[in-house]
Amino acid sequence: MIYSLDSDAIIHAWRSYPIKNFPKIWLWIETLGKEGKIGISEIVFKELLRGGDECYTWFNNRKEMFICQNDPEIQEEIKRLVNTYVNFGLITGKNEGDPYVVAVAKVNSCTVVTNESMSNNLNGPKVPDVCRAEGIPCVKFIRIIQNEAVVFE
């Protein structure tokens, strides 16, 4: 796996690159899923469910390609993260998936993809703050396209 996706990155990409206007992007994302390059934690998938929209439906129809199982190593990493960073991922329905996104990246040595910006506050940090503290690369969705050197024609 190369990328651990946060729900806000997925939702932002869905809104910025609607499938009806950018179908090649979504075919490419599907290919990345098939190749095992993109992972989405189970809780992030549940966050998408709350939207109950086409984005959720699209991912739900392909979830076996994207879901990263919450195995014991990831569970231990989640515990460590929430015990290390005060108020990280403690708001149910808002940021509860954040520790999972970072834990998946840490365990799999991959890059976090989020649309969040740094708060520069480790007392109630955002995903990029924890990534910086943990030495995990953290990028916005557009960087996947740039990193993979993809050109859509």
| Mean of pLDDT values over 77-104 | 86
Digit-coded pLDDT (tens) for 99-141: 999 999 999 999 999 999 999 988 889 999 999 999 999 999 9
Answer yes or no: is 91 within a domain.
Answer: yes
Count CB atoms within 10 A of the CB of residue 86.
Answer: 12
- With a pLDDT cut of 90, the percent of the chain lying above it is 73
- CATH number for the domain harbouring residue 132: 3.40.50.1010
DSSP codes of every residue in 80-145? HHHHHSBTTT-STTTTTTHHHHHHHHHHHT-EEE-S----S-SBS--HHHHHHHHT--EE-THHHH
Q: Give the per-residue pLDDT at 48.
A: 84
Find the domain containing 48 and state its range: 3-147
Question: Are the beta carbons of 107 and 113 closer than 8 angstroms?
Answer: no
Count CB atoms within 10 A of the CB of residue 73.
Answer: 12
Answer yes or no: is 70 within a domain.
Answer: yes
Answer yes or no: is 42 within a domain.
Answer: yes
- Distance of alpha carbon 83 from alpha carbon 104, whole angstroms: 16
Question: Are the beta carbons of 6 and 114 closer than 8 angstroms?
Answer: yes
Read off the tokens for 99. Answer: 């520790």
Answer yes or no: is 84 within a domain.
Answer: yes
Answer yes or no: is 115 within a domain.
Answer: yes
Answer yes or no: is 10 within a domain.
Answer: yes
Answer yes or no: is 153 within a domain.
Answer: no
Count of domains for the chain: 1
Q: In Å, how far from its chain's centre is CA 127?
A: 10
92 pLDDT more than 60: no
Answer yes or no: is 131 within a domain.
Answer: yes
Q: What is the pTM of this model?
A: 0.92
